[in-house]
Chains A and B, each alone.
Chain A
Amino acid sequence: MILGNLSIRYSERFYSALLSLYPPHFRIRFAPEMLQLFRDCCHDALEKGEVAVVVVLWLQVSRDLFISVVRERGRDLIRPIGAEHPLGGIVDVVLIPSMVTANLLALGPILTLLIGGGAIMASDQFVLTSGFFSFAIGSLAVAASIVITKLRPTVRLWVKLSA
């Protein structure tokens, strides 16, 4: 029984740590209830048998955790940007088009000139090359902006927890 109680204690700690894999808004809302549910399941398992039953429970919970983390992360990615923070949404809406427009106007041609090393290019070749660079940098800017937006709640939570 002592072994059983120990296994429950460490199982709870480990499960609590694993809950950090969920997106922040989901974790903040449901992690205490999920931990309580897991605790209840552990006690149920111990009533039915010894530590082996807790191991079987862990196998089931691991599968459930993997599937649900992937699902919730997926949902979090397709959630409208700035849905929870309107100000953040405005920044994203203004920031992304601004970055794309700015680099279309300036960065593409500048990069073409730099890579070309001052060599003389035909005008159509110059437009094509600078267009390619503009598109590549624009795509990177959009991707970076989305990643930053998605990481913002995690960073905020991390700052709050570490304060």
Chain B
Amino acid sequence: MNKQSKSNVAEKPVEHFLPLTPAVFHILLTLADSEAHGYAMMQEVTRRSGGTVRLGPGTLYGAISRLLEDGIIEESEERPDPEMDDTRRRYYRLTKLGGRVLAAETDRLADLVRAARSTKLVRKLKPA
């Protein structure tokens, strides 16, 4: 990621990146609290989604590639525990823009859920 592309990204409004795909939303959620490497992201996404979202290596790194280009995530130089960890692994973390994108998408989904729940049909069919 060079400086020029970073400055181009900074000009884009958060709405430009919305809506996020389920895979990207899960990846950003995983990185929301701590940085992680690819394998940790993959496991966390599977665990959080109850196995409904499974990211293969190609899908995961395709998404990471786009998120890096957009300046939504960045590679982290720090290692949580260098002695316990494989040095070949690369860690990723959210940027400030990434945090704003995640918050905006969360708001968008919350509004959507609120709108859906306000309909008679959804209230009627609501599982017990």
The judgment on whether A and B are partners is yes
Number of A-B contacts (CB under 8 A): 58
Stretch at the interface among B57-65, B94-102, B104-112, B119-127: B57-65
Supposing A37-B38, A72-B62 touch, asked if A60 and B54 sit within 8 A by C-beta, the answer is yes
Q: How large is the interface on B (under 10, 10 to 19, 20 to 34, 35 or more residues)?
A: 10 to 19
* CB under 8 Å from chain A, chain B span 13-45: 37-39, 42
* CB under 8 Å from chain B, chain A span 12-26: 22, 26
A61–B57 CB distance below 8 A: yes
Q: Which residues of A contact B (CB under 8 A)?
A: 22, 26, 29-30, 32-34, 36-38, 40-41, 60-61, 63-65, 67-69, 71-72
Partner of A61, one of B37, B56, B62, B89: B56
| A–B Cβ pairs within 8 angstroms, 16 of them | A26-B61, A29-B65, A30-B64, A30-B65, A33-B37, A36-B38, A37-B42, A37-B57, A37-B60, A38-B57, A60-B54, A60-B56, A65-B58, A68-B56, A68-B61, A71-B62
B89–A33 CB distance below 8 A: yes
